[in-house]
Every structure is written in C-alpha cells, then in structure tokens.
A and B are shown apart, each in its own frame.
Chain A
Amino acid sequence: MGESSLELRVTPADRRIARYAAAAIALTVAEAAIPSPLPGVKPGLANIVVLIVLARHGWREAAWVSLLRVLAGSLLVGQFLAPGFFLSLTGALTSLVALALAARLPARWFGPVSQSILAAFAHVGGQVLLARAWLVPHDGVFYLVPVFALFALVFGIVNGLAAARLMSAAPAPSAAMRPG
C-alpha cells in the first residue's frame, strides 16, 4: 500500500458484524419477494439474526447489524429514503430499545422468544406512531393496530423460536452463519 492510502483497521467484531448483517440483508431481500396480504405485514426474518447477535455478542453489535440491515436492505429493494425506509428505520430503533430492556430480564426465565415478542410489539408501535405523526395524520391509523399487533405476536413467537433453535443447534458462533 502506498503512503497516501488510507488504512481502515478492521477488528474481529467488525467482520462479525458484517457477516451477520449480510445474513440479515439476505433475509430481508428474500422476504421482500414474499407476497403480503396486508401492506406492512412481514415476518421480519432478519430479526432472527439480530436476536442471535444480541444473545452472543451483546446489544451494541445487535444494533449495528439491525441498522446496517435497514440501510442496505432498503438500498437493495429500492426503498432507500422512501416512506418505507423511515418506517423500517423507526421500527428497528424502537425494537432495539425494547431489546435493550428485554435483554436485562433474567435469562433463566426469559429467552429469545420473549425478546422477539417485545421487539415485535415495539417495532409495530414505533411504526404506527411514525405513520400517525407523519404519513397519515389521522387517528384512523390506529384502526389497524389490532391486526398489526396480532401479526407481531405470531411472527415474534416464530422468529424467537427460530433464533433459539439456531442457537441450540449451532452453539459455536461461526457455525450459525451457515445457511440452511
């Protein structure tokens, strides 16, 4: 490398975050191809990755993975800076807050399933509030909350179980990245 080139120090954590984020982005793109009965209702499979990172490497890395996923995922599906991007970003931020709190629950009693459900509710809550404040300035938005909440509960349980299953099936951190 010449003297003028800028060298970026890459820590093992950086590589780890990049790999997990890549997995999360792949899930986001795959999920974008699944038709949804209701706009806004998605399984949020990428959150499985976030839950695994949270359990193995802590909240800070989970936040990196989640936010990188939102950014790169929106670029790939052509939603960057569109309303969908801000909804997705808000959902990611509020669910990260929920995860920060949920991770403090005693691990003996509360696992990825609880974290996933709480994050899913926070995700929907944040999105609905943003939609109310910005996109649809009318209380009619809240009419959809029960439906979104129901899906949040269902997909929250499913994603939590998937994360718990993946972690029990592949206890070594590197093995979790293998697809399938």
Chain B
Amino acid sequence: MSGWLALVRPGDWLTVALGALAVALAFPLLWRGGPAERAVIRLDGRVVAEYPLDAARRFEVAGPLGKTVIEIQPGRARVAADPGPRQYCVKQGWLTRTNAIAICAPNHVSLFLSGRQAGYDTLNY
C-alpha cells in the first residue's frame, strides 16, 4: 500500500480532492430534475384544469366512463380514483417529479406535473 502511495505526488492529492468535489457537486446539480410546480389535468388531450402544487385540493373530471378523481397536495399529486378497469394510473401513486405523468387511458384523462426545468417524462425514461 505504501508503495502505491509513494507514486502519488503532493499536487495529485489536490487533483483527487478537486475531482471528488466536482463529482460531489455534480450529483445535486444535475440530478435535481426540478421540483414539480403545477399539475395539469387533461381530458381527451385538452387541458381541463391546471393547479399549482401548493395546497391540498381535489378535482373531478368526467370522462366517458365516469369520474376520475385527482388529488393534489403540496408538492405532489395523484389519481385518487378512476373508473378504468386496470387502475394503472391509480396504482402509480403520488407523482412528485417534474414531467411525471399518470394516464388513465380508458377514461381519456391524464395527470401531468410540469415544472420550470425540462427533464424526463414517465414515458421516455
């Protein structure tokens, strides 16, 4: 071990430290993805409601099958209930990240979280 340490020159430690610092900074800087700011609710692709994620509220959308219930809380939103047969959008649970999307296809409703930063959306990654 000491044989290997002898190969590291004093300035190399500085390079290692700066490199580690750069890596440590890169994680929070590039991985924040932006907190979601608004919930966008669409029916048949048309925006029917848009709410900031700042207060708790519930919203009902009437689709072809019945009512889809969207629940919004500070910083997150979910599909609380949906008449669709497979309940995929309900099982997705709370959405928190920007560009996350829950699609209740049978009832033609989607819930999308938008934010300032463009990141990945649920479908693309």
Contacts and interface: CB of A to CB of B under 8 A. Distances in A.
Given A145-B30, A149-B22, A113 B7 contact: yes
Contacts, number: 74
> Interface centre among B9, B16, B30, B125, by most A CB within 10 Å?
B9
Interface residue tally on B, bucketed by range: 20 to 34
Contact of B120 (A118, A140, A160): A140
A121 to B, nearest CB: 7
Contacts of B10: 109
Interface in B1-17: 3-4, 7-12, 14-16
A140 B23 contact: no
Q: Is the interface of B mostly helix, strand, loop or mixed?
A: helix
Nearest to A105: B11
A153 B26 CA distance: 12
A152 B16 CA distance: 11
Contact of A145 (B12, B20, B26, B119): B26
A101 B7 CA distance: 21
B16 A121 contact: no
Interface centre among B7, B10, B15, B20, by most chain A C-beta atoms within 10 angstroms, is B15
Contact of A118 (B3, B15, B30, B33): B15
Interface stretch (A3-11, A65-73, A161-169, A170-178): A161-169
B16 A111 contact: no
Given A109-B9, A109-B10, A140-B125, A146 B30 contact: yes
B31 A113 contact: no
B30 A143 contact: yes
B19 interface: yes
A117 B15 contact: yes
A48 B120 CA distance: 37
A117 B22 CA distance: 12
A153 B11 contact: no
Nearest to B19: A153
Interface in A137-161: 139-140, 142-143, 145-146, 149-150, 152-153, 156-157, 160-161
A121 B33 CA distance: 23
A106 interface: yes
A111 B30 contact: no
B7 A110 contact: no
16 contacts: A105-B11, A110-B15, A111-B8, A114-B11, A114-B12, A117-B12, A143-B119, A146-B26, A149-B26, A153-B19, A153-B23, A157-B16, A161-B8, A164-B7, A164-B8, A165-B7
Given A110-B15, A161-B4, 9 more contacts: A110-B11, A111-B12, A113-B7, A114-B11, A114-B14, A143-B33, A153-B23, A161-B7, A165-B4
